[in-house]
Amino acid sequence: MGVAYSSLPSPFPCTATIHITGSSLFPYASKANPERVINSIFNHTNNICLANLQKPTKKFGSFSRFSHHSTCLGSKIVPSKCCAKVREMETQERILQKPLIDFHGIDEELVQKMVYDALVWSSLHGLVVGDKSVQRSGKVPGVGLVHAPFALLPMAFPESQWNLACEVAPIFNELIDRVSLDGKFLQDALSRTKKVDAFTSGLLDIHSKMLEINKKEEIRLGLHRSDYMLDEQTKLLLQIELNTISASFPGLGCRVSELHRSLLNYHGEHIGLDPRRIPGNTSVDKFAEALAKAWTEHNRPRALVMVVVQPEECNMYDQHWLCAALKDRHNVTTIRKTLAEIDKEGEILPDGTLLVGGQEISVVYFRAGYAPTDYPSEAEWRARLLMEQSSAVKCPSISYHLAGTKKIQQELAKPNMLERFLENKEDISKLQKCFAGLWSLEDSDIIKKAIERPELFVMKPQREGGGNNFYGDDVRTNLVRLQKEGTQEDAAYILMQRIFPTVSPTILVREGICHKDHAISELGVYGAYLRNKEKVIVNEQCGYLMRTKVSSSNEGGVAAGFAVLDSIYLS
């Protein structure tokens, strides 16, 4: 999760309903920033009008504003004791109904029962991660397991915006493929960044070598995730980022949707929620199918799919769900290797075949290699280059990886830039409506505005994985510093419009502890794209990931410890 809502005080004290391990959920939640909710208006030509900004307002004072009355949801009558308050929101097109749970109305014993049932379900159905406090939990499967952090109930989301996110997924897939083929565009757009960012420079060097030898990727596979937030004021679904490498949680995200559907089947009548309003989520099966089809296109029946992993991976079970689906549904075998192991065991035969430990590899699926910490020595860079030089299908290739960087995202948002890669005007219009404000730090006017109103911006480096962005006063401090120093370090960053999504009450569960708080959510929609030369074999939306975090947190990311897994309740 990349951009966030301003902090708000908790409306009621944290309530631990079940204690199993740990001491608190989100210990940073009590460190609230000054109260402010700035509603901003950004247009899609990347200009900002500060005169149109409203004064800070407080969106939620307490949950007592949710009334206790009966209402209808689908064919069910909601009991008055534990009802869903329906709040109408005016949008540019029509009125959307957004059901919100009356958390004061839910009996505490019912909450405890649901938490207990959810923890049992998670344990029985593999909604688990490695416990970082347990030695070897990130290396040895089955050692130090703990349930993945999750929201107890699904988050309401407008059905019209959900449909839009699904509709644009194949268009973004096609865009990434087109951008990846334009080597000059990638090199030129990232040329200034290369001078000040060693990690991006390393990726560009590999890309340059592939251009020099005219390396063609005839079989191109992308497993993407486009992340969005729904802006409170404009009701626009705005893209935060497009992940082209290591799009995580297709396995566990499916489990959470199943968990919530199970809870609502048992308890839905008591809280007024219909399990049929949770959309199906088949991301792990769809990703496995795309990998299997790439393996088939490569046409080497004895070859394997190699998952590139980090040396210690507490999120290994999300990856194992995908590997299990590959084997069970498609009879494709996988192996897991770190970059260091690939450097040690890997070789390329004269015909381009990639061997690792003597085993032929047909598809390389990266769940590592997206951060500078994944390359602690030259060995890891050698491994990345080795794989790129081979004839194996890379997911992603180096060009797909670069196409997903923040700088490229900012470049694509420039006026008339999408027309360079897409022909369909309707498709272009749909993508443009999803773009938030994005600016280069070469834009002196926007720098001035960001220094004046830093709370309206996020300052982003070329990094993935969460915990890297600057917010609030840190935006001003770093922009002023860069101006004074007068170096080219500004090329390592972009500025992005800060999105202010709706804040909703929710119940979060981490390490067996139930915690009520205000929260915001981020929707990620998965997409798969497979092409062999001129033939497009797969181009589709592949399920979703919903992540929810307390509204007082700027940063996001489940693996980084900021958010919990969630699912969608269509409203």
Mean pLDDT, the chain, whole residue set: 82
Tell me how far apart the alpha carbons of residues 160 and 433 are, in angstroms, rounded to a whole number: 14
Reduced to 3 states (helix: H, G, I; strand: E, B; else coil), residue 76 is strand
- Tell me: is residue 465 an annotated ligand-binding position: yes
- Tell me: is residue 498 an annotated ligand-binding position: yes
* Mean pLDDT of the region 488-511: 88
What pLDDT score does 57 carry? 33
Is the pLDDT at 186 greater than 90? The verdict is yes
Tell me how far apart the alpha carbons of residues 106 and 507 are, in angstroms, rounded to a whole number: 11
Name the catalytic one among 217, 297, 380, 464. Answer: 464
7-11, 44-48, 127-131, 459-463: least confidently modelled range:
7-11
Asked whether residue 256 is domain-assigned, the answer is: yes
- Tell me: is residue 248 an annotated ligand-binding position: yes
Name the catalytic one among 85, 194, 220, 225. Answer: 225
End-to-end CA distance of the chain: 22
**Torsional class of 22: left (φ above 0), alpha (ψ -120 to 50), beta (otherwise):** left
- Cα–Cα distances in Å, from 363 out to 15, 206, 313, 329, 524? 47, 19, 21, 17, 24
Tell me how far apart the alpha carbons of residues 71 and 57 are, in angstroms, rounded to a whole number: 29
* Mean pLDDT of the region 487-495: 82
Tell me how far apart the alpha carbons of residues 567 and 558 are, in angstroms, rounded to a whole number: 14
Residues 347-385 pLDDT 10s = 999 999 999 999 999 999 999 999 999 999 999 999 999
Is the pLDDT at 563 greater than 50? The verdict is yes
**Residue 406 annotated as catalytic:** yes
Asked if 314 and 141 count as a contact pair (C-beta separation under 8 A), the reply is: no
Asked if 531 and 177 count as a contact pair (C-beta separation under 8 A), the reply is: yes
* Mean pLDDT of the region 481-488: 82
* Mean pLDDT of the region 82-103: 38
| Phi, psi values for residue 362, rounded to 5° | -100, -35
- Tell me: is residue 225 an annotated ligand-binding position: yes
Is the pLDDT at 74 greater than 50? The verdict is no
Name the catalytic one among 407, 460, 510, 516. Answer: 460
Tell me how far apart the alpha carbons of residues 236 and 91 are, in angstroms, rounded to a whole number: 9
Asked whether residue 15 is domain-assigned, the answer is: no
Asked whether residue 144 is domain-assigned, the answer is: yes
Name the catalytic one among 6, 122, 180, 248. Answer: 248
Percentage of the chain lying above the pLDDT 90 cut: 63
Is the pLDDT at 241 greater than 60? The verdict is yes
Is the pLDDT at 182 greater than 80? The verdict is yes
**Residue 243 annotated as catalytic:** yes
* Mean pLDDT of the region 208-236: 95
Tokens read off for 236: 């626009």
Residues 259-281 pLDDT 10s = 999 999 999 888 889 999 999 99
Reduced to 3 states (helix: H, G, I; strand: E, B; else coil), residue 157 is strand
**Residue 437 annotated as catalytic:** no
- Tell me: is residue 471 an annotated ligand-binding position: yes
Is the pLDDT at 438 greater than 50? The verdict is yes
**Residue 93 annotated as catalytic:** no
- Tell me: is residue 453 an annotated ligand-binding position: no
Domain count, the chain: 1
* Mean pLDDT of the region 278-301: 97
- Give the residue from 40, 307, 279, 21 showing the smallest Cα distance to 154: 279
Name the catalytic one among 6, 122, 173, 243. Answer: 243
Asked whether residue 10 is domain-assigned, the answer is: no
* Mean pLDDT of the region 477-488: 84
- Tell me: is residue 241 an annotated ligand-binding position: yes
Cross-strand bridge partners of residue 528:
223, 540
Name the catalytic one among 217, 232, 241, 297. Answer: 241
Reduced to 3 states (helix: H, G, I; strand: E, B; else coil), residue 534 is coil
Name the catalytic one among 113, 465, 489, 561. Answer: 465
**Residue 300 annotated as catalytic:** no
Asked whether residue 82 is domain-assigned, the answer is: yes
Residues 6+ apart with CB under 8 A from 126: 255, 317, 321
Reduced to 3 states (helix: H, G, I; strand: E, B; else coil), residue 28 is helix
Asked whether residue 220 is domain-assigned, the answer is: yes
Asked whether residue 324 is domain-assigned, the answer is: yes
Place of tokens 């194949």: 170
103-112, 171-180, 533-542: least confidently modelled range:
103-112
**Residue 174 annotated as catalytic:** no
Tell me how far apart the alpha carbons of residues 508 and 176 are, in angstroms, rounded to a whole number: 35
What pLDDT score does 552 carry? 76
- Give the residue from 334, 283, 287 showing the smallest Cα distance to 307: 334
- Give the residue from 413, 372, 404, 406 showing the smallest Cα distance to 494: 406
Is the pLDDT at 553 greater than 70? The verdict is no
**Residue 484 annotated as catalytic:** no
Tell me how far apart the alpha carbons of residues 452 and 83 are, in angstroms, rounded to a whole number: 44
Tell me how far apart the alpha carbons of residues 254 and 127 are, in angstroms, rounded to a whole number: 9
Residues 386-404 pLDDT 10s = 999 999 999 999 999 999 9
Tell me how far apart the alpha carbons of residues 237 and 355 are, in angstroms, rounded to a whole number: 44
Question: pLDDT confidence of 103, banded at 50, 70, 90?
Answer: low
**Residue 347 annotated as catalytic:** no
Asked whether residue 1 is domain-assigned, the answer is: no
- Tell me: is residue 543 an annotated ligand-binding position: no
Which of 555 and 297 is assigned the larger pLDDT?
297
5-14, 291-300, 493-502: least confidently modelled range:
5-14
**Residue 225 annotated as catalytic:** yes
- Tell me: is residue 464 an annotated ligand-binding position: yes
Give the range of the structural domain holding residue 504, as residue numbers without chain letter: 22-570
